[in-house]
Amino acid sequence: DGGRAITALAAEARPLLPADDPRLRVLTWMGEGLYELVASSWQSLAGGPPLTVADIDALAVAARRQPLRAAGLLHHLLTRATAPEATPLRTRAHALLTTWCGDFADALGLRAIPPRDQVGHQAATALAAAEAALEETGGG
């Protein structure tokens, strides 16, 4: 479980981290219940209508992204730590980042999308949203 792994590593690293860095507050907040809050909110979906593939994929992205963000924050904080004991912890955080990024890419079948196609999709989405808004207000 990514949340537990990064929370345990953060707890081990906490005495070495720069106390004045606001990212430490974010990391602490993530470890003090964010994962449980997200998990409990997902459990409420169990009694509703069946989830679509898009719903399940969105949950998978969110579940992977939170520990990945925490690992990135911890890695960054450990790069600022000056104690020699920070080096092996930074190495472990880096290993988590590398592994989780690879797992994320593999699980979701990530692939490069040419910028031209990205822009085309975004433009079409913006136009569709504008048309829908105009229709709703009677302006279209």
Domain spans of the chain, in order of start: 2-109, 114-140
Q: Which residues contact 65 (CB under 8 A, 6 or more apart)?
A: none
What average pLDDT does this structure show over 126-131?
Answer: 95
Taking the whole predicted model, whether its pTM rises above 0.75 is answered as: no
- Reply yes or no on whether the pLDDT at 35 is more than 90: no
Q: pLDDT tens across 16-32, in order?
A: 998 888 988 888 887 77
Res. 44: pLDDT tops 90? no
* 3-state secondary structure (DSSP) of residue 15: helix
The mean pLDDT of 74-92, rounded to a whole number, is 94
* pLDDT over 90 (residue 78): yes
Tokens of 107: 């699980």
Biggest CA-to-CA distance, the chain: 66
In b/e form, how buried is each residue of 120-140, taking b as 16+ CB within 10 angstroms? Answer: eeeeeeeeeeeeeeeeeeeee
pLDDT attached to residue 137? 83
Q: What is the 3-state secondary structure (H, E, C) of 30-94?
A: HHHHHHHHHHHHHHHHHHCCCCCHHHHHHHHHHHHHHHHHHHHHHHHHHHHCCCCCHHHHHHHHH
